Amino acid sequence: MVAENESLLLLLSMCGKSEWLTGQEPVSLTESFIFLRFVQISKRIMVEEPSSCSSCSDLPELEEMDLDTNETERLLIDYRTLSLGDPLKVHDDNAFEEAMGLRARALEAYPEKLNTAILLLTDAINLCPCSAMMLMSRAQVLFDIGELAAAIRDLKAATERSPTHVGSFRLLGKAYAYLCRYGEALAAYQKAQDLDYSKDIADIIKGLVPKVETEKREEAEAKRLFEEQQSKASAKAQEKKEKSFADKVYAEIEATKSKGGPLPEAFRVLDNLKSEAQNLSASTAQKLLSNDITAQAMDDPEFARKLDEVAKNPAAAAIHMKDPKFAKAFMEIINCFK
């Protein structure tokens, strides 16, 4: 075990990362990869025969742990969760220079070594998270490989953190257009034009306008159909509710009649309203005419229509009593018949 630990310590010393043995974690994606290789190699050392690891000559060369290995390209990367860096972080010239170096290495590696390029650009973003250039560079790679949602995520961060970066708005518009999100594409392109006019972009915008108008018409039609379906469903539910109410009214009237007892006053008025209205007594007529509310209501053709519906079908009251004006006049009329 002592010999194994010495071998591990020597290996990490070669990498300049002996502090990992004390529990300090790697701080970048590049270091994370080297740390992963360290774990793999350490496991290999632990399972080998002691005689096979008695010498450092069996340890892999440092170049075998370099980021630019085939093993890096076999990694499965979730592009949707790549680090966007800390937007509050302030970088200096040294950090920007280092980030530019990583970006240059990434562009040199791409497209043959896609994962290498992505990881290097992510390290560059972590160094300079507010640099639209770094974010757009990774977004361009993601766009090229068809990861449009991930590219848009990077570009939205770039335009938010650096709202004057024309290239980010142009690429954002292009990504949206590929997804047929024409309204968002048009908005991004127009923002780019506000910052720096381009004849080519003007032509693209000209082609987008009719697509946006079609998109709006389709959205409006979809909204209309949805609201129509909602209205039909609501009307059907209301009809069912009113039928249930009517059934309940008639059931209570018939139940009371079958018992031979007097109807409750409200039901009695509803049950006899039409016949009573056709044989008004002088006193009842006087009450109706002397009451301002009932007098005005009786001159209103719409009120007369609703009242006739209620007289013919007591369940109609469930509908018309929702109208405050009708309800008030109707109750006044009922009072006149008392």
More confident residue, 314 or 157: 157
- Report the distance separating Cα 157 and Cα 135, nearest Å: 8
Is pLDDT above 70 for 149? Answer: yes
CA nearest to 127, candidates 190, 85, 186, 67: 85
Position 47 confidence tier, pLDDT thresholds 50, 70, 90 = very low
For the chain, give the mean pLDDT: 76
Task: Pick the closest to residue 83 from 137, 149, 136, 29 (CA basis).
Answer: 29
Q: Would you say residue 202 has pLDDT above 60? A: yes
**Does residue 325 carry a pLDDT above 80?**
yes
38-52, 109-123, 238-252: which has the highest mean pLDDT? 109-123
The answer on pLDDT for 170 being more than 90 is yes
Q: Is the pLDDT of residue 4 over 50?
A: no
Domains of the chain, start order: 2-57 (no CATH), 90-197 (1.25.40.10), 263-336 (no CATH)
Looking at residue 236, its pLDDT comes to 84
pLDDT of amino acid 224: 94
Tens of pLDDT, residues 239-270 = 776 566 556 655 655 666 666 665 544 455 55
pLDDT in tens, 60-116: 333 343 554 578 888 899 999 999 999 998 888 899 999 999 999 999 999 999 999
Rounded Cα distance between 22 and 12, Å, is 12
- 233's tokens: 């469903």
CA 176 to chain centre: 16
What percentage of the chain exceeds 70 in pLDDT?
Answer: 64
pLDDT greater than 60 at residue 222: yes
**Both structure tokens of 199:** 């004849």
> Is 217's pLDDT higher than 70?
yes
User: 138 pLDDT exceeds 80?
Assistant: yes
Q: Which secondary structure element, helix H or strand E, spans residue 1, and what is its range?
A: none
